[in-house]
Structure 1
């Protein structure tokens, strides 16, 4: 079943005349149901893979930004959780419209889409609410102001992270978890880090590369593999590694689907949201599958909110599960 936002687009598909681009759709099926020439721009690898399977890889782009030389009659951006990410997308995609083209913003009413008039104001005098249904809204504008040049480099921020005995630079982009700071759960993991083994180690859901780069700094003989579903996160992780002089392997993956080989250790502060909604399935799937990727005697360090019931699943999969540290909010597990 289509998401509410995609259902809203379906009832407005008469607007999709000419060549259109959907940005970060919540489901792939919308590409098979819209009766129009529609391509996809995806910053999230899971929906990118699914969409490419539905309507062909040549119709879809996975990355941080969309090529500026492209031209569309209309573009629909699905409102992201972070408004600064929406600002970056608009600043990029306003350059990808034909003269007189339309830029639309769609999303859940509780997810920030009502800020469309303010988000669009640097590019157009007028913003119109086009439709509302399924607790979602669709806003549109036609750019009539000259946009500033767009360059991804302008959106990077770099912060020095101090944890343990280390201080090291980390790069952030809008929409990347804990942008610009070290979240307390990750701090708990790093301050209680189990000795890092030689060999391949995995940073799952790597975000900006905070954990993976710390692990590499702790043991230069470790071969660090970082994976995430977000193109924004992977780009930041690569930039963070380069800033610290670390050679890492960056792999876009939906869960462990693109990961191969065995690891001596794995580390994660896993996500538990999909958009606005709580979702433990990605992490539960990771825990259940991980034993097939670990060498004998390998360890997993996982930090999470205390209320999330990961311990019973860890105990089903691993021979030994210990709580290394905990607070009123977080719990750090060591599983072997």
Structure 2
């Protein structure tokens, strides 16, 4: 059981009614709170919840339409995303309780101050290195317009400017990260066919690929619903059409790809996770055509070349700058 869930269950009587659990972990919390429902924006956790608790958790960037008498937000990493989620929940809870739970090292005490916009926050519990806070929503805000919270910026690329639209919580929100900037300089001579942007974020790479290779089919894949929505906005802002899908890892990707391109993340919340990237490297060959290609940018301290060569083929370093390397490999 996730320690945040354990803290909630210490006060289980508060959540016995129609409670919305926003950003909940994929543990047994819904089983312990039979009147509760979930709202998730992580495709992997949603799939696990749907498998165990059919019909009791919704995936997406907006709260479920059905009513609820209380809501719990599991603190996300991004302050801007926390702002949006708290406002979206508080808008539906006039006169009713809104709870916030999170780990101390994730900044729960700082985040609890954001509850003051709706009433007087109070700490209910502290255990398992986590805290649980509550506010009675006395000042319910208007429902927030998520697209109005998007940040837009233009990239000056060789074939013209590209408009990028990123939503709160998306990787490198409102700016181009160093790794993606390096990879964008090394997209030449990709094999024709079906291109995949793995871990697409705001869609910078996928949109660039579609514009540069207009005759290729391009798919953008991310585990996060806010990233998927951002990628669709980026494509639309540039008059481009491509497939955008949500899924947890390379297992969700199509087969028969001509190329997989990625600036894979290795952080999830306050924790460091390499699993998605390592699975990508282990399974890329299963998703690539025999003449296909993996092109990846990563922090140079990450020891990916041996893993690439073990599961794919000879690994070539195309570029190195600012602590990042671009690798290229093809199936044996």
One of 295, 308, 332 as aligned partner of 2:326:
332
Equivalent residue of 2:180, what SS? helix
Deviation, structure 1 residue 164: 4.4
Correspondence 1:286 to 2:280: yes
One of 107, 115, 122 as aligned partner of 2:110:
115
Deviations 1:63-83 (A, max 9, x none): 01114x432121110111001
Equivalent residue of 1:257, what SS? helix
Deviation, structure 1 residue 162: 2.5
Equivalent residue of 1:100, what SS? coil
Correspondence 1:65 to 2:62: yes
Correspondence 1:230 to 2:224: yes
Measured on the aligned residues, the alpha-carbon RMSD in Å equals 1.5
CA–CA distance in structure 1, aligned partners of residues 20 and 159 of structure 2: 47
The 8 Å contact of residues 222 and 247 in structure 2, kept in 1 or not, is answered as: yes
Deviations 1:103-159 (A, max 9, x none): 0111011112112442112211x1000101111111110111141342222212211
Query: Where do 1:20-35 residues align within 5 Å?
Result: 20-32=19-31, 34-35=32-33
Query: Where do 1:173-252 residues align within 5 Å?
Result: 173-252=167-246
Aligned to 2:41: 43
The 8 Å contact of residues 90 and 140 in structure 2, kept in 1 or not, is answered as: no
Deviation, structure 1 residue 240: 0.6
Deviation, structure 1 residue 296: 1.3
Deviation, structure 1 residue 328: 4.9
Unpaired segments ≥5 residues, structure 1: none
Aligned to 1:76: 72
Deviation, structure 1 residue 316: 0.5
Deviation, structure 1 residue 7: 1.6
The 8 Å contact of residues 171 and 236 in structure 1, kept in 2 or not, is answered as: yes
**Count of aligned residue pairs for this structure pair:** 330
Deviation, structure 1 residue 36: 3.6
Deviation, structure 1 residue 202: 0.4
The 8 Å contact of residues 221 and 246 in structure 2, kept in 1 or not, is answered as: yes
CA–CA distance in structure 1, aligned partners of residues 245 and 197 of structure 2: 10
Deviation, structure 1 residue 330: 1.0
One of 250, 255, 263 as aligned partner of 2:257:
263
The 3 A distance-change label for structure 1 pair 327 and 39 is same
Aligned to 1:105: 100
CA–CA distance in structure 2, aligned partners of residues 195 and 286 of structure 1: 22
Aligned to 1:305: 299
Aligned to 2:16: 17
